[in-house]
Amino acid sequence: TVPDRIRNFCIIAHIDHGKSTLADRMLQLTEVVDARQMRAQYLDRMDIERERGITIKSQAVRMPWVVREGDLTGEQFVLNMIDTPGHVDFTYEVSRSLAACEGAVLLVDAAQGIEAQTLANLYLALENDMTIIPVLNKIDLPAAQPEKYAEELAHLIGCDPDDCLRVSGKTGAGVSHLLDEIVRQLPTPQPGNDGAARAMIFDSVYDVYRGVVTYVRVVDGRLGARDRIKMMSTGAVHELLEIGVISPEPIKSDGLGAGEVGYLITGVKDVRQSRVGDTVTINARPATEALGGYKDPKPMVYSGLYPIDGSDYPLLRDALDKLKLNDAALVYEPETSLALGFGFRCGFLGLLHLEIIQERLEREFNLDLISTAPNVVYRVITTDGTEVAVTNPSEFPDGKTGEIFEPTVRATVLTPNDFVGAVMELCQGRRGVLLGMDYLSADRVELRYTLPLGEIIYDFFDQLKSRTKGYASLDYEPSGEQASDLVKVDILLHGEPVDAFSSIVHKDKAYNYGVTIAGKLQKLIPRQQFEVPIQAAIGSRIIARETIRAIRKDVLAKCYGGDISRKRKLLEKQKEGKKRMKMVGRVEVPQEAFIAALSTS
Ligand code: GDP
Ligand code: MG
């Protein structure tokens, strides 16, 4: 297809504003998927995505479209719809998907208005110089207020309220008009000056049968089916086994030209060999310069993952090896914990990424896991001048720390007017620095903060929701690092440090952390035949203390507060006579007590 017949677009939206549903209608209208094959959220292929209603991996679909109204009526175009992952952890993937398109449909729920993710994605789209088509969705809802939110949208992107299209992904109203407008408003792909082939990888997915499937947008030149290709970041050369387009199933072709979007299969077995953001060129006539914007995925959050049943350790290792094939951002290495036994220290892009991996391990590999409290990566300059990246509190160079840097994020919070005070209080309590505040309309406010990542990976989102009756929304992106006054708090049981509870916290919060954990363990650990002190300490300085009295008594019954199913699971394990005791010095502690302390914290 010649470039001026191609339009590449993505849909950006806050979660639940109807992106997948609208995509479904487009697939139907363009007859790429017929009504019989149609199931809701056709593009969300992974089970977890379908259940949680979120899109994790992006996909690209080619849709033929014959314009139905106006000046171009009857003319045939090719629309490539690139589905972007919807969550903050995947900002980089989102930015690459956007970079593969000329334009974006900015979809806003007409009953909700603009939300934090709408803004964050819009900012990314604007950074990529994309054409934005503002669209209000769900106009079939009785609660829809298209007039009000058209004003809001128009104000935000600087257009006329009448330019905001109105659709319903549910009924299909307005969708054909939207497809026409995509053809009309979006620029045609412009090949660059360099004639040599260059294609940008915006996604790469491991498939059990076919190996890695790489999704690309060809920017310059042409990739032919017989070419040997070269990855420009590593110089690795691969045979092309297959090239084609997805519509909605893969269709082989003899090549992809400038402006086109499609897939490559090279027989590589690991997505790390085919990285998002990298540039593909032809080995025989390589481009001299890669396309801009490539970044190595960098884990932002670390956590220890341990099998509840220690004999599952080899299974966990195999499962991680498998998941890694499909996840260039997942890193892990073996780790042992006094409290939890053998496990892995794993690095993730963020909390959702952690949750997804843990859930996949439990679901697809049938593992029962416990994860330690997540922590961010600290950069510590020691007093002798060396630099250490601390991914585990136990590696913190106690007593030898000079400057300590922690990662920060730029957060966007959107809230109704009434809750501005509550949101500010929360952000200040988390060491946030207010960057700016804007009224989107008379009653809705955008707050921008710099916050330490370590302060929001925990329960920030839950707190935000509960303090704003669920109305506020949050999005954030990495924004560098800052020097901070951080300390490591250790928890000692009868004088022995318990590694899984060591944590790096701000100096002003150390006391609180110590008191909370010591209190929790005091309730969870059964009494021994002797008195057991539980202490929280910074280096050798004790900052909190609890005591387990010396009476022998089984307190398992009151051990586990919150999670009924976990509690039942643990009790069943015990019935099987598998109760595992850990010795911490002289103290006998059921592993379950550690697990309960970690999982309810
Ligand atoms: P996504 O998170 O942006 O992909 O949103 P989904 O497409 O999964 O939709 C979220 C929810 O909104 C689902 O329950 C949909 O059925 C519903 N929904 C989506 N579009 C419409 C619409 O146009 N009208 C109505 N009434 N509901 C819609
Ligand atoms: Mg979706």
The verdict on the CB of residue 148 being under 6 Å from ligand 1 is no
To the question of whether residue 4 is assigned a binding role by annotation, the answer is no
User: Cβ–Cβ contacts within 10 Å for residue 560, how many?
Assistant: 21
pLDDT of residue 443: 87
Q: Average of pLDDT values for 129-147?
A: 97
Q: Average of pLDDT values for 151-158?
A: 92
Which amino acid residue places its CA nearest to atom 11 of ligand 1?
A: 16
Asked if 222 and 258 touch (Cβ cutoff 8 Å), the reply is: yes
The residues near 509 (Cβ < 8 Å, ≥ 6 apart) are none
Which amino acid residue places its CA nearest to atom 14 of ligand 1?
A: 16
To the question of whether residue 89 is assigned a binding role by annotation, the answer is no
Ligand 1 centre and the CA of 12: distance in Å? 13
pLDDT grade for 579, boundaries at 50, 70 and 90: low
Question: Which range has the worst mean pLDDT, 323-327, 409-413, 477-481?
Answer: 323-327
To the question of whether residue 121 is assigned a binding role by annotation, the answer is no
Write the pLDDT tens digit of every residue in 375-391.
Answer: 999 999 999 999 999 99
pLDDT of residue 493: 92
pLDDT of residue 340: 85
Atom of ligand 1 nearest to the CA of 138: 23
- How far from 351 is each of 88, 299, 543, CA to CA, in Å? 10, 11, 29
Ligand 1 centre and the CA of 169: distance in Å? 7
pLDDT of residue 163: 96
Does the model's ipTM exceed the 0.85 cut?
Answer: yes
Cα(248)–Cα(304) distance, rounded to whole angstroms? 39
pLDDT of residue 207: 79
pLDDT grade for 87, boundaries at 50, 70 and 90: low
pLDDT of residue 575: 53
Examine the pLDDT at 73 and tell me if it is beyond 90.
yes
What mean pLDDT is reported for the chain? 88
Q: Assign 3-state DSSP to the chain and report helix, strand, coil percentages, each to 5.
A: 30, 35, 35
The verdict on the CB of residue 170 being under 6 Å from ligand 1 is yes
pLDDT of residue 86: 64
pLDDT grade for 18, boundaries at 50, 70 and 90: very high
Convert 460-513 into a string of H (helix), E (strand) and C (coil).
HHHHHHHHCCCCCEEEEEEEEEEECCEEEEEEEECCEECHHHCEEEEHHHHHHH
pLDDT of residue 577: 44
Name which of 45, 46, 50 is nearest 61 in CA terms: 45
Write the pLDDT tens digit of every residue in 272-317.
Answer: 889 999 999 999 999 999 998 888 888 999 999 999 888 999 999 9
The verdict on the CB of residue 112 being under 6 Å from ligand 1 is no
The residues near 441 (Cβ < 8 Å, ≥ 6 apart) are 113, 148, 151, 152, 155
pLDDT grade for 356, boundaries at 50, 70 and 90: confident
pLDDT grade for 578, boundaries at 50, 70 and 90: very low
Atom of ligand 1 nearest to the CA of 14: 3
Which amino acid residue places its CA nearest to atom 10 of ligand 1?
A: 16
Closest ligand to C-alpha of residue 110 is: 1
What the block records as the tokens of 469 is: 């009756």
pLDDT grade for 570, boundaries at 50, 70 and 90: low
Cα(264)–Cα(252) distance, rounded to whole angstroms? 10
To the question of whether residue 14 is assigned a binding role by annotation, the answer is no
Examine the pLDDT at 553 and tell me if it is beyond 50.
no
Write the pLDDT tens digit of every residue in 238-284.
Answer: 999 999 998 888 899 999 999 999 999 998 888 888 999 999 999 99
Atom of ligand 1 nearest to the CA of 168: 23
pLDDT of residue 427: 97
Most confident among 205-214, 480-489, 522-531 (mean pLDDT):
480-489
To the question of whether residue 18 is assigned a binding role by annotation, the answer is yes
Write the pLDDT tens digit of every residue in 534-551.
Answer: 999 999 999 999 999 886
**Strands (DSSP E) along 141-197, which ranges?**
165-166
Q: Average of pLDDT values for 162-176?
A: 97
Q: Average of pLDDT values for 156-165?
A: 94
To the question of whether residue 84 is assigned a binding role by annotation, the answer is no
Examine the pLDDT at 230 and tell me if it is beyond 90.
yes
Which amino acid residue places its CA nearest to atom 24 of ligand 1?
A: 138
Examine the pLDDT at 565 and tell me if it is beyond 80.
no
Place of tokens 């970044």: 295
Ligand 1 centre and the CA of 572: distance in Å? 40
Atom of ligand 1 nearest to the CA of 13: 3
Write the pLDDT tens digit of every residue in 499-511.
Answer: 888 999 999 999 9
Closest ligand to C-alpha of residue 49 is: 2
Question: Which range has the worst mean pLDDT, 133-147, 340-354, 397-411, 571-585?
Answer: 571-585
